[in-house]
Amino acid sequence: MKNKALKRLIYSLLTFVVSFTLLSFKHPSPIIKDPPLTDSSFRIRTIIVDAGHGERPPEGGRYSPGAQGSYSFERNITLSIAKKLQAEFEKDMPDVKIVMTRTNNYDVLWGKRAEIANSNRGDLFISIHCNSLPNRTIREVVGHKHHKPIYRSVSVPDRSGKGVLLLVYSTNRIGPQNEALRENEIIGDDNKVETSVEEKADDPMAVIMLNRMKNKFRKQSIRLADLINDEFTQTDGRPSDGVREQVVFVLDHTAMPSVLVETGYINNHEEEDYLNSEKGQNEIVASIVRAVEKYRDEAEAVSKN
């Protein structure tokens, strides 16, 4: 009997506490939900196409030449694919503005590439690259001493890489993208600065909104990368290393969904031939365009609902 009475007392107290809490306190602020992939007026209006690497500019300075195969260079392949991609986008999506980060052989520094993307208020950033594996070290026998083998280390090319790889920015490096988001956020359509970057950084609500935007762009980047990867593997039958997060300067500094496409391994002879062929480049371009069209249809369908 005593146990039953004690249980009734505990239940009564719990009911009172819960009821008092609900009646006496209000939530201090509205709950901020995860943002949808797009807003109600979303349209893909501008796509940035980035041809990775390049030759040293005539004026000199730093540059990134990229990987090298047995007879070709990454910088030339990426530019060729990027130009084909631009032409195909303009044909299939005439209402979308295509902005190239470089149109000649000369390299554009990573910071400038991100600046071009952000200043043109891009809706998507697609960076074209070729992959390559570093040499691997093996040990080989060069003689014997006292009936024991003598070894030396030898560096040999690793040509085992094959297929595509899709990279999106890593959440481990959030500072640069936060800064890019702030810069893009405060410039309106009339190019008038509404609030300084410093004021935005000190505003708790602005910080919350920046984090939401960053998470949204990350989700969108992964979705686009998945669609491109599916086109490569399911339509073209290409091997794939999948979609990975990685710290990549140019992706970190763009304030939009961004994907880096490693189109193949230039130091694999078979892959190098594919990357340099019209057939290979046309397949790569067609797969990216199909994926972007699917992404656009999905995103704009969400914005209408």
Rounded to 5 degrees, φ, ψ at 258 are -135, 140
Question: Residue 84: its pLDDT value, please?
Answer: 98
Residue 246 structural domain? 44-131+163-184+212-304
- Supply the pLDDT for residue 268: 96
Query: Is position 31 within any domain?
Result: no
**In this structure, what token pair is assigned to residue 191?**
């190019």
Q: Count how many domains the chain has.
A: 1
pTM to 2 decimal places: 0.74
| Centroid of chain to Cα 34 | 20
Residue 156 in any domain: the answer is no
Q: Tell me the C-alpha distance between 37 and 42, whole Å.
A: 9
- Look at residue 87 and tell me if it is in a domain: yes
Q: Look-up: residue for tokens 């083998």?
A: 149
For residue 18, being part of any structural domain is answered with: no
Could you tell me if residue 295 is inside a domain?
yes
Copy the structure tokens of residue 135: 């040499």
**According to the model, what pLDDT value does residue 217 have?**
86
Looking up residue 275, the CATH number of its domain turns out to be 3.40.630.40
Q: What is the pLDDT along the chain (305 residues), one digit of tens a residue?
A: 445 554 454 444 444 433 433 333 333 333 333 444 555 457 899 999 999 999 999 988 888 999 999 999 999 999 999 999 999 999 999 999 999 999 999 999 989 999 999 999 999 999 999 999 887 776 766 677 777 887 777 777 788 889 999 999 876 655 544 443 444 443 333 333 333 344 445 555 544 555 566 778 889 999 999 999 999 999 999 999 999 998 888 888 898 999 999 999 999 999 999 999 999 999 999 999 999 999 999 988 875 65
Tell me the C-alpha distance between 46 and 239, whole Å. 30
User: Tell me, what's the pLDDT at 149?
Assistant: 81
- For residue 250, the model assigns a pLDDT of 85
Cα-based torsion angle of the residue sequence 241, 89, 110, 195 in order, rounded to the nearest 10 degrees: -120
pLDDT given at position 41: 59
**According to the model, what pLDDT value does residue 173 have?**
52
Residue 115 CA to residue 255 CA, distance in Å, equals 10
* Within a domain: 39: no
- 155 occurs within a structural domain: no
Please tell me the predicted confidence (pLDDT) of residue 145: 78
Residue 281 included in any domain: yes
Per-residue DSSP letters for the chain? -HHHHHHHHHHHHHHHHHHHHHHH---SS---PPPPSS-TT----EEEEEE---BPPTT--------B-SS-BHHHHHHHHHHHHHHHHHHH-TTSEEEES--SSB---HHHHHHHHHHTT-SEEEEEEEE-PPPEEEEEEEEEETTEEEEEEEEE------SEEEEEE-TT--HHHHHHHHHHHTB-TT--B-S-HHHHHH-HHHHHHHHHHHHHHHHHHHHHHHHHHHIIIIIS---EEEEEEE--HHHHT-SS-EEEEEEEETTSHHHHHHHHSHHHHHHHHHHHHHHHHHHHHHHHHHHH-
Give the Cα separation of 286 and 288 in Å (integer): 6
